[in-house]
Amino acid sequence: MPANIYKNKAGERIPGVTTVIGSNLGWSKGGLMHWAWEEGINGRDYRETRDTAASIGTIAHKMVEYEIKGKKFDWPSMGQQMGANEEQIEQAQNAFNEFVNWRELVKFKLMKSEHLLISDQFNYGGQIDIAAVQGKTALIDIKTSNEIYPDHKIQLSAYDYLWNENYPGDPVNAWYILRLGKSGGFAYYSLPRIEIVTGFRAFKLLRELHDLKKKL
């Protein structure tokens, strides 16, 4: 999928949330290096493990995306078109089924999906996975991973600010991260407001650093 291009009101290119975080935050890199080392110790090629896991998570994410948009996902054939084998497709289907159960449990009503927004105050853009009503306005971000990392929380906090700047009359009051595990699992996390506030403090520093690097 091509990267989104964001521009401010002056027509100038501005960075996206994931670019700001990915280019300036290395907190999770140590864990990834250790994981690759463990794969080697256990006689596995980390690249094969990574690619297999990515296929499962990517298919599950696509299933969720189709469900949210009310589209039919022909999972056996479409999964095969995405390069997955029968076992990977089945694992992705299991993760998707757990998402459907969760959606029925919370009964949220979709407001927006894959919604692109711009912050004029801090000069960045982002694409919100899901904005929904669950008694109150909620933001939901979907992650294909086996853990929830600090950068995920920072990302959701940046989306929170984007929404509130563009829709000040309808502020966000609930924040979720949905984790589609690379091995086919599903879990959801409800973030407290303090983590969103702290996360955005971190994001503002990363946004400043993003510009400062260009001056060095």
What's the pLDDT tens digit per position in 158-203?
999 999 999 999 999 999 999 887 666 788 899 999 999 999 999 9
Work out whether strand 174-180 and strand 137-144 pair parallel, antiparallel, or are unpaired.
parallel
pLDDT at 40: 66
Find the helix packing angle between 17-24 and 193-212, rounded to 10°.
70
pLDDT at 87: 80
pLDDT at 17: 97
pLDDT at 28: 57
Residue type, 50: R
For residue 25, count other CB atoms closer than 10 A to its CB: 19
Encoded tokens for 208: 């400043």
The residues near 47 (Cβ < 8 Å, ≥ 6 apart) are none
**Third-level CATH fold of 17-215:** Trna Endonuclease; Chain: A, domain 1 (3.40.1350)
Q: Is the pLDDT of residue 154 over 50?
A: yes
Return d(Cα 133, Cα 144) in angstroms, integer: 23
pLDDT at 52: 46
Condensed to tens digits (0 to 9), the pLDDT of residues 79-105 reads: 667 777 778 888 888 888 888 888 888
Encoded tokens for 39: 């794969």
pLDDT at 3: 74
Please provide residue 178's backbone torsions phi and psi, each rounded to the nearest 5 degrees: -100, 125
Place of tokens 């964001």: 6
Q: Of 97, 64, 61, 93, which Cα lies nearest the Cα of 77?
A: 93
pLDDT at 92: 84
Does residue 5 sit in helix, strand or coil?
Answer: coil
Place of tokens 């009964």: 107
Condensed to tens digits (0 to 9), the pLDDT of residues 37-78 reads: 554 676 655 455 444 445 777 788 888 888 888 888 776 677
Encoded tokens for 214: 């260009």
